[in-house]
Structure 1
Amino acid sequence: MFDDFWAASRFSPLHQRRLGDRLRDFRPQQQLIDPLELPSPPTPLPRRDDRLQRLFRARRSTRDFAGEPLSPTQLGTVLGALSDNSYPSAGGLHPLRCYTFHDGRAARYDIHRHALQDIGPSPDDLADILGTPSAPPLTIVLVLTDKDSFAKYGERAGRFGLIEAGAAAQNICLRLAEQKLGGYLLGGVADNEMLHALSLPRDLRVATAIACGRRIT
Structure 2
Amino acid sequence: MSSILVHACDFDHQIESIERKIKKSRKILDNNSLDDVEVVKRHLTIMYAVDQEVRKLFIVFDNPTTRKLLTEVDFFHTEHLKAILAIHGWIIMSKFGKEADHQAWLLVQHTDHDPEFQKRCVLLLQHLYPSGETDKKNYAYLYDRVALKFQDLGLKQRCGTQAKMIDNKIELYPFEGSLEDLNQHRHEMDLGPVEDYMETLKTFYKG
Q: Which TM class, normalised by the smaller chain length?
A: under 0.3
More strand by percentage = 1
Q: Larger relative contact order (C-alpha < 8 A, sep ≥ 6)?
A: 1
